[in-house]
Amino acid sequence: MTERPDLSLRSVLSAVAPGQSVTSVNSIERGNRKRTAVVRFAGADPIVVQQTPTPRSARVEARLLAAIDERTSVPVARPIDSGDTGDDGWLVTPLLAGDDLHEAFVDIDAATQQAIAGAFGRFLAELHEVFQFGRYGPLAVDNGDLVTEIRSPRSTPIGDEFDLEDGISGGVAAATPAEWREWLVTYGRANVARLPSEFDDLRSELLDVVASLPATTGPAPRLFPWDFRPGNALVADGTVTAVLDWEYPLAADPALSVAKAEYLVADWYVSEVRADRLRAAFREGYTSVRDIPEIRPAHRVCAIASAAVDSRGVVTNPQYPPVGRAAAVEFHRRALERVL
């Protein structure tokens, strides 16, 4: 449905498309708190406007998208502009061609699914090769550079109300590689604690697995795009044309990032037998760029638990069309039981 631009959107458009006549505004569902709209003009190419109540997240996402475009082959929408309007932040990108891969993935033939899984593996490996940080934790922009933000841990216990970024990072403070085990154990405990009551009988075992991490210096923190999945991608003619939604990126152990991406790319849409083939394709794509990190059971528990509940505390719905809550709980339980 075509809408009229509201006051805040008109402010963004006056900055990025002054004098242009708007022919349509269509809101689309993307992100938990972002407002996203496709804006079309009479005499210019269409754009995508994303508005967020946290200006800092818009700045980080804009800088990350530009860096990914400059330094890798990962297809992204390079920012046209970004900025603040009062208390909100905004990011404007071109409208890219392609179908929503979340909807299209289950109808693609098996060979093309494997090729797409391989592309996701290669993309993640490129990101890990290029983006290395000094500490684990949420990213920030400092003098134009992407860095790990030095922030304090949450003062309120997991389970209380918390903002979106704390829901993604588990409210864990930034940490050095020497503090690797403490960081990942805290992250894992936070995500296991957020699982609903249907997981109570598994919770103790899951926490034991998380606590089994060795007390060693961890690997160099690499980019962790926490929502790196087909549901945030566009596809055309069997090729990924864009990976979308880079909000709230983290720096983390690359094994955590690989474990979560495998779950979202390989397991999310298909049967367990076909998932094994997609996982093999994903790994082949990754190892075409760099060696795959050692993935421990603790990494898988952290990854699956973080994927099972979204940043608002709601159980996520895998497959397409998405299954209901009861089936989603069973899906995530089976995945965690396989790790145990």
pLDDT of residue 156: 38
Respond yes or no on whether the N-terminal peptide bond of residue 18 is cis (omega within 30° of 0). no
Task: State which CATH number among 3.90.1200.10, 3.30.465.10, 3.50.50.60, 3.40.367.20 fits the domain covering 99-339.
Answer: 3.90.1200.10
State the span(s) of the chain assigned CATH 3.90.1200.10: 99-339
Mean pLDDT of 110-130: 98
Mean pLDDT of 146-163: 56
Residues in Cβ contact with 60 at an 8 Å cutoff, skipping those fewer than 6 apart: 139, 140, 141, 146, 248, 249
Write out pLDDT tens, residues 32-49: 578 999 999 999 999 999
Work out the percent of the chain whose per-residue pLDDT is above 90: 79
Rounded to an integer, what distance in angstroms lies between the CA atom of residue 296 and that of residue 254?
A: 12
Rounded to an integer, what distance in angstroms lies between the CA atom of residue 51 and that of residue 72?
A: 26
Regarding pTM above 0.85, the answer is yes
Phi first, then psi: what are they for 225, rounded to 5°? -75, 100
Rounded to an integer, what distance in angstroms lies between the CA atom of residue 53 and that of residue 58?
A: 9
DSSP state of 264: I
Q: What is the CATH number of domain 7-94?
A: 3.30.200.20
Given a cut of 70, is residue 153 above it in pLDDT?
no
Given a cut of 80, is residue 155 above it in pLDDT?
no
State the span(s) of the chain assigned CATH 3.30.200.20: 7-94
